[in-house]
Each structure stands twice: as C-alpha cells, then as structure tokens.
Amino acid sequence: MENLGYYNGKFGPIEEMAIPMNDRVCWFGDGVYDAGPARNYNIFALDDHLDRFYNSARLTGIQIPMPREELAELLRDLVKKVEAPEHFVYYQCTRGTAPRKHDYVEAPGNLWVTITPQTMPDGTKRIKLRSEPDTRFYHCNIKTLNLMPAVMSSQAAKREGVFETVYYRENMGNRVTECAHSNVSMILNDELWTAPLDELILPGIARKHLIAAAKRLGIGVHEEPFDLDTLRGAQEIIVTSSSNLCLFAEEFEGKPAGGGSPEVAEALRAEVNREFTEATAI
C-alpha cells in the first residue's frame, strides 16, 4: 500500500476513504491531532507525541476512543502496511458525529490516522524565514485542528519564496512565540535560547529533543522569552518540527541570517540527527 487512511476501525488507501458529513470536524474543526516521523517502521518519539495528544484531548474535553497503549499498538501496526522506508504518521480525534450544533453530547470521538511516505531532511540545507504579528488565539499549547491562521501565514511564506513565518506578539513587546507550523529557537552567545512553554506556543516534540541534545553536548539552554530584535541579532536561528527536526536559517526578513556560530550549529544538527537515526534503526 502506497499510503494509508484509517477511520474508526476501517482503513484503506487515503483516496478511497470517506467520513460522515456530520463529523464535527466538518462544522467546527472540533478536534485535536498529533504527528511524527517513522523510519524502518519505527515511529520516532512516539511516547512524547502520545503524551501531547492525550493532553490536548484532556484540555479540550475530547474522548479518544481507546487507551493510550492500544493506540500506540494500532499505529505501530498500521505503519507496517505502507511500503516506504520513511513515513509521516498523522493521527487526530474529533469530538464525534452529530448534526451541527455548538454544544455537544459527551461521548467517545472519531479516530483518524493517515500514513504517507516522507523523508526526513538532514538539516544541512539552510532556509529562509519571514515574520508577521501573532494574532492567533491564546491556546497555542493545544494542538487543535483550527489552523486557519497557520494556513494563511504558510501561504504568505510560499508566495514570498521562504520556508516559514516567525510569529511575534506586538502587545507583548514584540515577543517571539513560534512559527506557523514549527517552533523557533536561536543561538546567542553560543547558547541555545527558546521560548518558554506557556499558552503562546506549542510544546514541540522536536523542540524538546533539541533541548535534550544541547544538554548532552554541554551547551547552555535558556527557556526564556526574547523579542524580535534579539532574534534578528542571533548567531543562528533554528526551526524545529516533527517534519524537519533541525533547520537553520540563512535569511530572515529578507536579510542574511545565521552563520555566526557554525561549530555549535553543526554539533546540534549532528546530535539531533544521530538520535533520530539510532532510534529508528532496523
């Protein structure tokens, strides 16, 4: 099978799958999700991703229709059905199926899974970034399906020929939060700086593993707020996500960026990729 879709116990090629129109995702985007890479049929950092998935469900009152370990086993089984050396494993739970109404009946939700071929980049190619004010909601720590602001920012980045959009809060002294679909960190004075975990950013799994890599290497770590001007002057700007574990910027807001701490940058890139390669080995 080239790819796989799963919905409440039924699975097949994604193009052949269908869902009820009354799934609340159709009306309200009412659901939570998580996702991560797999290699050699080993799902990377699955425990971390499931922790976040079940926490997002808890914070929104969504009932995932199976226990955590049962879902883990299901994902491990489904990924073996797709013919590719590397995959992206995506899963979401919507609140359920019912006629359109804002309030809801508390009941187990609908579980979706998709598995598609996707190769993890090694992070050697640098990227370009743009910025814009962060006008999203104050529940960025919950991985919900309501991603319209991220869609709009990602399309703006595509139009400008850059990789990502860096968000900042104008009403908080231009505090940098995260990107449209990634976390953003920086190297300053040869140490790693990243925004603190609060309601303004998603607790990224790749961000977590980047911090762990820095600590293993003896690199100082600061989980503290920083503003846009500080990011502009950073030695390196780092973008992390489950699709791109560790990328470095060569351009930010149309100006050259990065290259100010090549030894630290390469050490971090190599350590993050080492962990991924060893954790997903045959």
Q: Are 65 and 108 within 8 A, CB to CB? A: yes
DSSP tag of 207: H
Longest dimension (CA), the chain: 57
CA distance 56 to 266: 33
Which residues, other chains included, contact 21 with Cβ-Cβ below 8 Å and sequence gap of 6+? none
Helix (H/G/I), strand (E/B), else coil: 123: coil
215 is catalytic: no
Residue with tokens 């009946």: 105
Supply 99's token pair.
């006629």
Of 263, 261, 268, the C-alpha closest to 216 is: 268
CB-based burial label for 51 (10 Å; 0-12, 13-18, 19+): middle
Helices then strands, each counted (H, E), the chain: 7, 15
Beta bridge partners of 165: 130
Structure tokens at 221: 């770590």
CA 188 to centroid of chain Cα atoms = 24
10, 81, 125, 143: which one is catalytic? 143
CA–CA distance, 265 with 247 (Å, rounded to integer): 10
Which among 91, 81, 92, 1 has a CA at the least distance from the CA of 41? 81
Which tokens is 18 given?
A: 């269908």
Residues classed as catalytic: 143
